[in-house]
Amino acid sequence: MNQQLHFITLSTKDLDAARDFYVRGLGWEPLVDVPGEIIFFQLAPGLTLGLFDAEKFAQDQGRPGTISPVEGVTLSHNVESREAVNDAVERMRNAGGEVVKPPQDGAFGGIYHAMVRDPNGIVWEVAHNPGWRVESDGTVVLG
27: three-class secondary structure by DSSP: coil
Q: Which of 29, 36, 65, 105 binds a second copy (CB under 8 A)?
A: 29
Q: Which of 35, 74, 83, 110 binds a second copy (CB under 8 A)?
A: 74
Q: Does 110 bind a second copy (CB under 8 A)?
A: no
Q: Any idea of the CA torsion for 72, 21, 93, 73, to the nearest 10 degrees?
A: 10
Q: Which of 24, 31, 83, 110 binds a second copy (CB under 8 A)?
A: 31
Q: Which residues pair with 72 in a beta bridge?
A: none
Q: Are 14 and 20 in contact (CB under 8 A)?
A: no
Q: What is the DSSP letter of 139?
A: -
Query: Which distant-in-sequence residues (6+ apart) come within 8 Å of 24 by Cβ?
Result: 95
Q: Which of 44, 81, 110, 130 binds a second copy (CB under 8 A)?
A: 44
- List interacting residues with a second copy (CB under 8 A): 1-11, 26-29, 31-32, 37-38, 40-49, 54, 56-57, 59-62, 68-78, 88, 91-92, 100-101, 106-108, 115, 123, 125-126, 132, 134, 137-140, 142
